[in-house]
Amino acid sequence: MNAIWSNISPTVCLNTPFPYSRKIVNGSDFSQQMWLFRRNGTSGFSSSSTAEEVTDGIDGSGLTAIVTGASSGIGSETARVLALRGVHVVMGVRNVSAGKQVKEAIVNEIPAAKVEAMELDLSSMASVKKFASEFTSSGRPLNLLINNAGIMATPFKLSKDNIELQFATNHLGHFLLTNLLLDTMKRTAGETKREGRIVYVSSEAHRFSYREGICFDRLNDQEGYNRWLAYGQSKLANLLHANELARRLKEDGVEITVNSLHPGVVTTNLFRHFGVWGGNLGLVEGFLGTLGKLVFKNVQQGASTTCYLALHSQLKGTTGAYFADNNMAKANAKAEDTDVAKKLWDFSMDLIK
């Protein structure tokens, strides 16, 4: 299972001030550690279940999936496990070189794997349109869309399209991508008579957005910008979009489900901006070293809920729901506000025109 991690740049780092040290901890080192919450839920799985465990015995042959942000972290593990189960995986990656390394590592471990890497920068609408155009032109079917890529707690910056970067990358890029690929997914579901699935990797951080939830009127306000609240805003937008899309597809009678999830606290390269905390990074390092093995998930565990939602038969027909630790969870009330979801939909449609 761990062959892939010896062939690509690792992203699991503990006992370090995050990205500023290169001491690497292999994901398997955590697999036998005691966990605070490992009781199985109604699904039969828990926070400590791995992506391989929740998909054990599932045959994904004949399915095609797009996984965004698949060049590292839980994205690459998601791609690996889907490929292991026979799914044809298209990795949408900003760093094509890193994506090719992941592809080679997967194929080295799983010779029969069907994996390819395509360039996709979700912060650029031009890049998203190019990716979607190339994919649809290929004539491939599309059964699974895993909206996984994201950035976290970045300093204030505008995207190439002059939109606050976290909102542009985490929400708007995926909103546009999903919109452009939806006809292909509908056609695939109709022709194959197999349920299509769209999975959004959100976060519990959706609970910690700005007071109004989504800052429709001051999205690009640098003066009022808070990198953590902006991250929460983008993750709240993921849930709102997923719920509204699920409602629309269900209303239209389309056999495509849409669900969102919190992957858990996973030590991946999303933590590269944690240095902005300032203060004593040694204190942070000590905290990670002492409690990290009890609290944080490894990448194999972090990708499990994504793979569970993508492939497990238990989820057939389930749509518009939020999951954590491979079980259904309760999202913040703001994420379930249908009026805000519709407003965000219209707002996003205007931005992508």
Q: Encoding tokens for residue 143?
A: 């059964």
Catalytic residue (choose from 225, 231, 308, 322): 225
* Dist CA 119 CA 80 (whole Å): 18
Residue with tokens 């499990």: 304
H helix or E strand, kind and range, residue 119? strand 114-119
Could you tell me the two tokens for 313? Answer: 């038969």
Angle among Cα 237, 242, 246 to the nearest 5 degrees reads 150
Query: Is 200 a known active-site residue?
Result: no
| Rounded Cα distance, 118 and 30, in Å | 31
In whole angstroms, what is the distance from residue 255 CA to residue 193 CA? 8
What does the alpha-carbon distance between residue 88 and residue 69 come to, in Å, rounded to a whole number? 16
Residue holding tokens 């780092």?
A: 13
Count of alpha carbons within 13 angstroms of residue 61, beta-carbon side: 3
Task: Say if CB 227 and CB 272 are below 8 A apart.
Answer: no
d(CA 80, CA 302): 13
Q: Which residues are catalytic?
A: 225
